[in-house]
Amino acid sequence: MFQTLDKNIERWALLIFYLMLVVTMTIEVIRREVFAYSSIWGEEVVRYCFIYLCWIGAAAAIRERAHIRIDVIMNYLPARGKAWIYILGDLVTLVIAVLALWLSLETVEVSWKFGSVSHGLRVSMVWFLLAVPIGFSLMIFRLLQSLSRDLRDLRAGSPVYEGERLFE
């Protein structure tokens, strides 16, 4: 069960937010074009679904090593050199993600303290601002998994996981 959850949690979350985004946007387009009426809440739902999609997608991309990168040098390195480059990249990203998580929690704390709400939905902004810390937390979790996998591959002498190539 945990392996299935580990493999698919981002996909399921992305699917849910994407469906919410598409359904809400479709309803709003029909309302605007057919009934000449639109709502404030529809725009907000779409906006915040898109924000969650971006942050959860960033964590999914770390898991699959799918972030955009320039890998010309990687083609000329031996397997151990590639592993060390990936480990260094993951460590730098981990430091930035931990710092960003800490800073994003401050924003959520301020919103919680002052009780700010969204304009259309009248829902606490904390729920929407949590997208950033949730995204960075998932990224940190996936980075730790990636580091563990790379160190295991380095010790075993096997090639490091490079992810899928977009262009060949």
Each residue's pLDDT, cut to its tens digit, for the chain (168 residues) gives 677 777 788 889 999 999 999 999 999 999 999 998 888 888 899 999 999 999 999 999 998 888 877 777 888 888 888 889 999 999 999 999 999 999 999 999 999 999 988 888 888 999 999 999 999 999 999 999 999 999 999 999 888 888 766 555
Are 83 and 65 in contact, with CB atoms under 8 Å apart? Answer: no
What is the identity of the amino acid at 99?
L
| Of 165, 154, 168, 163, the residue nearest 79 (C-alpha) | 154
| Of 94, 99, 91, the residue nearest 151 (C-alpha) | 91
- What pLDDT is attached to residue 166? 54
The answer to whether residue 167 is domain-embedded is no
The CA distances from residue 39 to 9, 24, 129, in Å, are 32, 11, 22
Residues ≥6 apart with Cβ < 8 Å to 67: 58, 61
What are 146's two structure tokens?
């990636």
The answer to whether residue 165 is domain-embedded is no
Which domain does 66 fall in, by range?
Answer: 2-156
The answer to whether residue 35 is domain-embedded is yes
The answer to whether residue 132 is domain-embedded is yes
**Count of domains forming the chain:** 1
**Planar angle of CA 131, 99, 114, nearest 5 degrees:** 50
The answer to whether residue 164 is domain-embedded is no
For residues 107 and 67, give the distance between their C-alpha atoms in angstroms, rounded to a whole number.
26
The answer to whether residue 25 is domain-embedded is yes
Are 151 and 87 in contact, with CB atoms under 8 Å apart? Answer: yes
The answer to whether residue 168 is domain-embedded is no
- What pLDDT is attached to residue 149? 93
What is the identity of the amino acid at 11?
R
